[in-house]
Amino acid sequence: MPESHTDIDRKSLFLRACRAEPVERVPVWMMRQAGRYLPEYRAVRAKHSFLDVCKTPELAVEVSLQPYRLLGMDAVIVFSDILIPAEAMGLTVEFGDTGPVLPRQVRNGSDLAALRDFDPQRDTGFVGEAINQLCRALGSRVPVIGFAGAPWTLACYMIAGKSGSGTDRAKCMMYADPALLRALLDKIARNTARYLSAQIAAGAAAVQLFDTWAGELSRGDYREFALPAMQRVLDELQPGTTPVIYYSKASSHLLELLTETGADVLSVDWRLDLAQLKLALAARRGRAVAVQGNLDPTVLLGPAGTIRESVREAISKTGGRGHILNLGHGILPDTPVENARVFIESGQSAELPARAVSAL
């Protein structure tokens, strides 16, 4: 861990950023920060399957800590996958070389009825245990982030059984049997709320919902299907206590609807201009909503100067207030570790624009 950062209360910094309160600098972490770009991760994976790493708290803790030890980011996300609850609900999940495969999908009412409401303590206790161990290893000054898939994105995997054509299949169900899709989303939402509550009870300082496929929906379809399920998760999580971060990809057209989810932080990709996002959020009365993002992960494949410039630009667009610096999607497996370091360090050393500092 870089020496200069050991004395910082990262949890306080992170939580203040989530609540859009004054900060000395922006907090920084990366989606998929524990993963294949790290030789240390590949060494663990050479000996253990992906699911074994997810389900063995000691291994999950080890790989969650690897990026923090090396790069000293401001938050540690627990190592797991959005498909763990799909398995807990009774589906088989396999991780091959081309991504996850669910050999038995949800296509009709009896498939839906066969999905069970799971008990996070009994069925996915390894996630809570990993969070608990991470909190003990990191102490009270580093935030641990828990996560789950957003209902729509998880439904896409449950309906299609694989990555590629997932949203086409899910949309087929939307048009052919909207009541079935609604019931599936509702069941996922109920289980997701309990799953995330258990992660919070285990010590997660914030939780993130990943909606990788949100952008595939039109505004009307998002409003009718994805939004009520998200609202159900958020309502059950008691807003205002633990910050909820909502990641949605390619979702510029959904902006006002994203704020209606009730999430505390909107995590967006590079297609959305952060200055415009901030303006749109400020124009909405009521609760402050913070932003997270949004560098294109391919920037981290390029020269260090471009990474620094992109970091500087992102922070200047938000003013550094209510901003958690991150990528717009997961870090790519072929990213040089040195470039990830440049990203983290330049974010942590960036001076905030004068207007943000004067608000301190």
Question: Is 287 an annotated catalytic residue?
Answer: no
Q: Is 171 helix (H, G, I), strand (E, B) or coil?
A: helix
Question: Is 32 an annotated catalytic residue?
Answer: yes
Binding residue for ligand CP3, selected from 25, 32, 278, 321, defined by CB under 6 A: 32
Distance separating alpha carbons of residues 25 and 85, to the nearest angstrom? 35
Q: Are strands 290-295 and 265-267 parallel, antiparallel or unpaired?
A: parallel
Q: Cα angle vertex 208, ends 111, 310, to 5°?
A: 130
Q: Would you count residue 271 as binding ligand CP3 (CB under 6 A)?
A: no
Distance separating alpha carbons of residues 316 and 189, to the nearest angstrom? 36
Q: Would you count residue 353 as binding ligand CP3 (CB under 6 A)?
A: no
Catalytic residue among 45, 107, 308, 312: 45
Q: CB of residue 99 vs ligand CP3: minimum separation in angstroms?
A: 3
Q: CB of residue 353 vs ligand CP3: minimum separation in angstroms?
A: 29
Considering beta carbons, is residue 134 or 352 the nearer one to ligand CP3? 134
Considering beta carbons, is residue 38 or 237 the nearer one to ligand CP3? 38
Question: Is 68 an annotated catalytic residue?
Answer: no
Considering beta carbons, is residue 165 or 276 the nearer one to ligand CP3? 165
Question: Are 209 and 149 within 8 A, CB to CB?
Answer: yes
Considering beta carbons, is residue 39 or 240 the nearer one to ligand CP3? 39
* Tokens 């909190």, located at residue: 135
Q: CB of residue 179 vs ligand CP3: minimum separation in angstroms?
A: 26
Binding residue for ligand CP3, selected from 5, 19, 36, 271, defined by CB under 6 A: 36
Distance separating alpha carbons of residues 293 and 265, to the nearest angstrom? 10
Q: Would you count residue 77 as binding ligand CP3 (CB under 6 A)?
A: yes
Single out the residue of 342, 103, 145 nearest to residue 243, CA to CA: 145
Question: Is 81 an annotated catalytic residue?
Answer: yes
Catalytic residue among 25, 68, 81, 222: 81
Q: CB of residue 79 vs ligand CP3: minimum separation in angstroms?
A: 5
Q: How many CA atoms lie within 13 A of 262 on its CB side?
A: 16
Taking CA atoms, 151 is separated from 83, 214, 244, in Å, by: 11, 10, 15
Question: Are 358 and 320 within 8 A, CB to CB?
Answer: no
Single out the residue of 24, 211, 203 nearest to residue 128, CA to CA: 203
Question: Is 273 an annotated catalytic residue?
Answer: no
Q: Are strands 94-96 and 99-101 parallel, antiparallel or unpaired?
A: antiparallel
Spell 6-34 as b/e; 16+ CB within 10 A means b. Answer: eebebbbbbbbbbbbbebebbbbbbbbbb
Q: CB of residue 144 vs ligand CP3: minimum separation in angstroms?
A: 11
Binding residue for ligand CP3, selected from 28, 59, 65, 82, defined by CB under 6 A: 82
Scanning 74-82, 215-223, 255-263, 293-301 for contacts with ligand CP3 by CB under 6 A, the matching segment is 74-82
**Interaction residues for ligand CP3, span 204-233 (CB under 6 A):** 210, 212
Considering beta carbons, is residue 99 or 109 the nearer one to ligand CP3? 99
All residues at 6 or more sequence positions from 56 whose CB lies less than 8 Å from its CB, including other chains:
48, 126
Q: Would you count residue 48 as binding ligand CP3 (CB under 6 A)?
A: no
Burial classification of residue 229, based on how many CB atoms lie within 10 Å of its CB (0-12 exposed, 13-18 middle, 19 or more buried): buried
**Interaction residues for ligand CP3, span 141-160 (CB under 6 A):** 147
Scanning 3-11, 95-103, 119-127, 276-284 for contacts with ligand CP3 by CB under 6 A, the matching segment is 95-103
Binding residue for ligand CP3, selected from 2, 39, 99, 302, defined by CB under 6 A: 99
Q: Would you count residue 134 as binding ligand CP3 (CB under 6 A)?
A: no
* Tokens 């595939």, located at residue: 216
Considering beta carbons, is residue 327 or 356 the nearer one to ligand CP3? 327
User: Which residues make up the interface to ligand CP3 (CB under 6 A)?
Assistant: 31-36, 45, 50, 77, 79, 81-83, 95, 99-100, 147, 163, 210, 212, 330
Residues designated catalytic:
32, 36, 45, 81, 157
